[in-house]
Amino acid sequence: MASLQVSRLVLSSSSSSTRPKAAVSIPKLPKFHVSVPKIPTLSVKEPSFEFVESLPLSLKQKRGSDSIQRARLNAVLEEVMDRIEMHKNIGDQRNNWNSLLLNSVNMITLTAALMAGIASVNGHGVDSVTAVKIASTVLLTSATGFAALMSKIQPSQLAEEQRNATRLFKKLRVEIEMFLRENEEIEEEDVKEVIKRVLSLDKAYPLPLIGTMLEKFPEEFKPATWWPENKERNPKTSLANGWSQELEAEMREVAHVVKSRDAEEYEKLGHVALKLNRFLAISGPVLTGVSAVSSVFIGQDSGLAGIVAMTCASLAAVVNTLEHGGQVGMVFEMYRNSAGFFSLLEETMKSTEKRENGQVFETRVAVKLGRSLSELRDLAQRSNLSQVKAKEFASKLF
C-alpha cells in the first residue's frame, strides 16, 4: 500500500511538471512621438505706478484740492435740495392757513352778526336774549383777534414768498448740477460764491415767522433782493468769450429801457398794492372790533347798537374776503419779486465781469423779457435813436 501511494505521488508530480503552459501574447502598440508646438508665453509685467511718484507736489495738491472742492460743492447741493423740499412744504402749509383762517373768520363774523340781529329784535330788556348777546360779543371779539393776526402775518404773502424761494432754489440746483458736469476743476472761489447765494436766498425768504419774518407793511416799496453783492473778481472788461463792443452797447441800451420803463412801472404798481393792502389790513380788525363793542349795548332803549353791530360785521366779512380771498398780499409780493428780477437783470447786464458767453447771455435776456433776438436788438436800436434825438433837441433849446 505504501508503494502504491508513493507511485501515485510520483505520477502526479511528473504529470504536473510536463503539462503545457498556455500563454497569450498581446502585441505592443508602436510608440508615436507627437511634437506639440509650444505656445509662446507673454511676460506680463506688473503695472508700475512710478509716474504718480514722479508728479510734482504742486500738481498732487491741486488734484486733491479739486476733489475736496467738488465734495464741498456736492454738500452744498444736498442742502439746496433739502431747502427746496422745506420751502415747498411750508408754502403749501401757509396757503392752507390762508384759506382755513379766512373761512373760519368769515363764518364766526357772520354767525355773530346773525346772533346780534336776533338779540336786537327780541331784546329790549328781555332777559332771555342775554345769552345770545353774550355769545355774539364773544364771537365778534374772537373774530377781531383772528382778523388782526391774519393782517399781521399776511398768509397769502407768506405762501408767495415760499413759492418764490422754491423756484429760485430749484434754479440754483440746476446751475450747480450743470457746473459740476461741465467743469473738471473747481476752485474754492466757486464754492464760496454758491454758499453766498444760498445764504442770500435764506435771508430774502426766511422760513421762521418769529424774529426773521419780512416786514409786510414797509414804509416804502423796495424790490426783493435774493442775490449777493456783486464783487467783481475781474474788473477789466474782456471782449472775448462771445462779447463784442456792439453787444455790450446793446446790453446797456436794454438795461436802460428795462430801468426806465418796466422796473418803474412795477414799482408804481407795487406802491398801489402796498397802500391797498395796508388799508384793508387796518379796516378788517377795526370793523369787527366796532361790531364787538356795539354788541355789548344790544338790548338798551335804542336799537342802534344792533344795527351798528350787524352792519360792521357784514362789512368786515367783505373786507376780509377782499383782502385774503383776493390775496392782495400775494399780489404785493409778486410785484416786489418782479421789480427785483428787473434789478438783477440790470445789474447783470451792466456788470463788467463776463463769465458767460455773450451770445448765450443775449439769448437768455431775450427769453426772460419775452422777446426774440431781433426784437431785442430793435428795442436797443430804438432806445439809442430816441436818446440821440433827445440830446439833439436839448442842445437846440439850450
Distance CA 169, CA 262 (A): 25
**Chain mean pLDDT for the chain:** 79
Distance CA 82, CA 195 (A): 14
The residue type found at 277 is N
Q: Which pLDDT band holds residue 14 (cuts at 50, 70, 90)?
A: very low
What confidence tens digit (pLDDT) does each residue in 333-359 have?
999 999 998 888 888 877 756 567 788
- Is there a domain that residue 254 lies in? yes
Distance CA 394, CA 398 (A): 6
pLDDT at 91: 92
In percent, the amount of the chain with pLDDT more than 70 equals: 74
Q: Which pLDDT band holds residue 21 (cuts at 50, 70, 90)?
A: very low
In percent, the amount of the chain with pLDDT more than 90 equals: 40
Please compute the mean of the pLDDT values over residues 313-326 and round it to a whole number.
Answer: 93
Cα end-to-end span (Å), the chain = 180
Give the lowest-confidence range in 48-62, 151-165, 209-223.
48-62
Rounded to the nearest angstrom, the gap between the alpha carbon of residue 2 and the centroid of all alpha carbons in its chain is 130
What confidence tens digit (pLDDT) does each residue in 113-124 have?
888 888 877 655
- Is there a domain that residue 102 lies in? yes
Query: Structure pTM?
Result: 0.75
- Is there a domain that residue 120 lies in? yes
Q: Is residue 126 scored above 70 in pLDDT?
A: no
Q: Is residue 98 scored above 80 in pLDDT?
A: yes
Please compute the mean of the pLDDT values over residues 290-314 and round it to a whole number.
Answer: 85
Nearest to 342 by CA among 254, 243, 279: 254
pLDDT at 194: 93
Please compute the mean of the pLDDT values over residues 280-304 and round it to a whole number.
Answer: 87
Q: Contact 181/59 with Cβ under 8 angstroms?
A: no
The set of cell numbers assigned to 299 is 338790548
Please compute the mean of the pLDDT values over residues 173-193 and round it to a whole number.
Answer: 90
- Is there a domain that residue 317 lies in? yes
The residue type found at 300 is Q
Give the lowest-confidence range in 186-195, 271-280, 313-322, 382-391.
382-391
Q: Contact 170/84 with Cβ under 8 angstroms?
A: yes
pLDDT at 235: 43
- Is there a domain that residue 46 lies in? no
The set of cell numbers assigned to 397 is 433849446
- Is there a domain that residue 22 lies in? no
Into how many domains does the chain fold? 1
Q: Which pLDDT band holds residue 389 (cuts at 50, 70, 90)?
A: low
264 or 92, higher pLDDT: 92
pLDDT at 258: 82
What confidence tens digit (pLDDT) does each residue in 248-266 have?
888 888 888 888 888 888 8
The set of cell numbers assigned to 334 is 409778486
Report H helices in the chain. 2-17, 50-54, 57-122, 130-153, 155-182, 188-204, 245-257, 264-296, 304-320, 328-350, 358-368, 373-397
The set of cell numbers assigned to 36 is 506639440
Q: Contact 166/87 with Cβ under 8 angstroms?
A: yes
Distance CA 234, CA 24 (A): 107
Distance CA 184, CA 165 (A): 29
pLDDT at 352: 56
The residue assigned the cell 436802460 is 256
Range of the domain at 369: 68-209+243-385
- Is there a domain that residue 257 lies in? yes
Q: Is residue 2 scored above 50 in pLDDT?
A: no
pLDDT at 177: 94
Dihedral, CA atoms, 141, 144, 149, 152, nearest 10 degrees?
-150
- Is there a domain that residue 285 lies in? yes
57 or 217, higher pLDDT: 217
Q: Is residue 36 scored above 80 in pLDDT?
A: no
